Amino acid sequence: MYKAIIGDKPFNIQLKEDEILINDKLFSWDISKVNEHSYHILKNDISYRIEVAEINYKTKEVILKINGHKYEVKVKDKLDLLLEKLGMDMSTAPNINEVKAPMPGLILQVNVSEGDEVKEGDALMILEAMKMENVLKAPGDGIIKAVNVNQGDGVEKNQVLVQF
């Protein structure tokens, strides 16, 4: 079972052995692959040209051009639907607005400053703890609001180091 959401309209998709059901109705369109990113569909004697303009595998979003008009499609698979049903989907996850020290230590290097734009996974700073260097990374995309420590500062566990 899958769910595709176009705009705010959901479509339930079921894949059976040799058929596809969309909202419990048999999908009986004639589809021909034109090239790697384009398809031709014939439905009720109406021709549609579909181009896959963009795919974001991380967010599970696809941008389609159908006869020149853009449509954004969000796709949810079985796991997404189960997590949503259990109230554990990522859309309800809180935003992380700060990075705290995971342990007491010494700030060896600060790689960001106020106003910097960072992407998820960017190295923010290096914390030395127990003779090991720990790279503290951005938990998500954002703009640095404040850097609360400097190189050479000692920090305590859970001390706020960076705010977004």
Q: What is the pLDDT of residues 131-146, one digit of tens each?
A: 889 999 998 888 999 9
Q: What is the pLDDT of residues 97-112, one digit of tens each?
A: 899 999 999 999 999 9
What are the two backbone dihedrals, phi and then psi, of residue 81, each rounded to the nearest 5 degrees? -65, -40
Per the model's pLDDT, the better-predicted residue between 81 and 157 turns out to be 157
Q: What is the pLDDT of residues 24-67, one digit of tens each?
A: 998 888 889 999 999 999 988 899 999 999 998 888 899 999 99
pLDDT at 90: 57
Distance CA 99, CA 105 (A): 15
Question: Rounded to the nearest 5°, which phi and psi values hold at 59?
Answer: -90, -5
**90 near 96, Cβ under 8 Å?**
no
CA distance 123 to 62: 29
pLDDT of residue 94: 57
Domains annotated for the chain, with CATH where assigned, are 2-92 (no CATH), 98-163 (2.40.50.100)
Q: End-to-end CA distance of the chain, in Å?
A: 38
Report the distance separating Cα 138 and Cα 164, nearest Å. Answer: 10
